[in-house]
Amino acid sequence: QMAIKFSLDWKFEGPAAPYLLAKKNGYFDEEGLDVTIDSGNGSVGAITRVASGAYDVSLADINSLVEFNASNPDRAMKSIFMVYDRPPFSLFMLKKSGITKPEDLVGKTLGAPVFDASRKLYPAFASATGLKLDDVTWESMDPPLREPMLVRGDVDAISGHYFTSILNLQAQGVTKDDLTVFQYKDFGMDFYGNGLLASPDMMENHAEELRGFLRGVVKGWRAAIADPASAIEALKEVDPLIDPALELQRLQMAIDENVVTPDTLENGMGLVKTDRMAKAIDQVALAFGFENKPTVGDVFTDIFMPGAEDRKIK
């Protein structure tokens, strides 16, 4: 058995349940792997954890990875498996603010942490919708402050992951009907989202184990899609404090909006399409403002991808 340290992108929440389910159901054991799953702190941390070798595998936003590679060209890394085929990047407004289309954002105040992926990619959203960068002002704040500040009217809009903020807003008594949501994917922004990365050492020396790990991950997702409640049970075992109903909702949203997509239904999980990815890289480069754009091959590799059968969702 080989020990693998796996860092999530975020805390133990619904979307993390499939990995925990995989472990619980012994899918990793079957591959001869002893996987430790640790909670994460955002994509930035997840990337550096793997880059530094502290973790073998992590889950992180591929767009952040592009940015990481741009600032550390000699230590560039590649994603080996795409999880969120269509990422949950979004902006949220209250209906009563009167904002119905992107142009209405001019002169408004937006709130989010500086490291929020949706905020970082906002320049791409702006250019896709014909806004100028300084049309809006940003207020920086810790993630849990976002939704209350929106509800109280301290900011006009917030950015965040769809399944995070919509549910957090629900907890504040704001229903979907009170909200206007701009999901980036609905504005012609064909990004990819969070995927798995492996440390250079793993990629070089443990290809087989990586492939096994990925098989286990897909099995976990498949089991979670088939029976989300059992995945939440696995989650609850790790973190007894979660609200199972809420996390179930969150997981279901991630499945429906981000994982089970036309592309993945057709090709199975994990792959990226070269032309779509290339376009995304263009937009990311624009958003982050760097010149020498990487190619698709620079940020993604399918050499550890399990066989097509093993990646089928259903």
Partner 1 sequence: MKKKPNLSKAAPWLSAIGLFVLWELIVRIFNIPPYVLPTPSESIIVGWQFHEAIWMHAVHTLYTTLAGFAIAVVFGVILGALVGSSRAIYDAANPLLVGFNSVPKVALVPVLVMWFGIGTVPAIITAFLISFFPIVVNVATGLATLEPELRDVLRSLGATRTDILVKVGFPRAMPYFFASLKVAITLAFVGSVISETVASNVGVGYLMLSASSKFNMPLVFAGLLVIAVMGIAMYEIFNVIERRSTKWANRGNQTT
Ligand X SMILES: Cc1ncc(C[n+]2csc(CCO)c2C)c(N)n1
Is 164 among the residues that bind ligand X (CB under 6 A)? yes
Residue 313 CB coordination number (10 Å): 18
Residue that has been written with the tokens 């941390």 in this structure: 45
Contacting partner 1 (CB under 8 A), which of 113, 193, 195, 212? 113
Region 233-292 residues binding ligand X, contact defined as CB under 6 A: none
Contacting ligand X (CB under 6 A), which of 143, 195, 220, 270? 143
Contacting partner 1 (CB under 8 A), which of 25, 29, 48, 97? 48
Region 167-196 residues binding ligand X, contact defined as CB under 6 A: 194
Is 31 among the residues that bind partner 1 (CB under 8 A)? no
Nearer to ligand X, 43 or 79 (CB): 43
| Among 3, 2, 6, CA closest to 56 | 6
d(CA 78, CA 163): 26
**Shortest Cβ distance from residue 40 to ligand X (Å)?**
8
**Shortest Cβ distance from residue 277 to partner 1 (Å)?**
20
Nearer to partner 1, 39 or 180 (CB): 39
Region 116-145 residues binding partner 1, contact defined as CB under 8 A: 120, 138-145
Region 24-83 residues binding ligand X, contact defined as CB under 6 A: 42-43
Asked if residue 32 lies in contact with residue 85, where contact means CB atoms within 8 angstroms, the answer is no
The site partner of 15 among ligand X, partner 1, none (C-beta below 5 to 8 Å per kind) is: ligand X
The site partner of 141 among partner 1, ligand X, none (C-beta below 5 to 8 Å per kind) is: partner 1
d(CA 265, CA 14): 21
278: its two tokens: 């290339």
B/e letters for 85-120, b = 16+ CB within 10 Å, e = fewer, are bbbbbbbbbbeebebeebeebeeeebbbbeebbbbb
**Shortest Cβ distance from residue 255 to ligand X (Å)?**
12
Could you tell me which residues come within 8 angstroms of residue 70 by beta carbon, excluding any fewer than 6 positions away?
288, 290, 292, 294
Residue that has been written with the tokens 């809009």 in this structure: 157
Could you tell me which residues come within 8 angstroms of residue 186 by beta carbon, excluding any fewer than 6 positions away?
none
Is 241 among the residues that bind partner 1 (CB under 8 A)? yes
Q: What is the DSSP string of 12-39?
A: S-GGGHHHHHHHHTTHHHHTTEEEEEE-
Nearer to ligand X, 120 or 215 (CB): 120
Query: Which helix (DSSP H) or strand (DSSP E) does residue 195 occupy?
Result: strand 194-198
Is 10 among the residues that bind ligand X (CB under 6 A)? yes
d(CA 47, CA 33): 22
Q: What is the DSSP string of 233-273?
A: HHHHHH-TTS-HHHHHHHHHHHIIIIIS-HHHHHH-SB---
Nearer to ligand X, 209 or 217 (CB): 217
Is 16 among the residues that bind ligand X (CB under 6 A)? yes
**Shortest Cβ distance from residue 87 to ligand X (Å)?**
9
Interface residue list for partner 1 (CB under 8 A) = 5, 7, 11-13, 38-39, 41, 44-45, 47-49, 51-52, 54-55, 67-68, 71-72, 75, 113-115, 120, 138-145, 147-149, 152, 154, 168, 171-172, 238-243, 246
Interface residue list for ligand X (CB under 6 A) = 9-10, 13, 15-16, 42-43, 113, 115-117, 143, 160-161, 164, 194
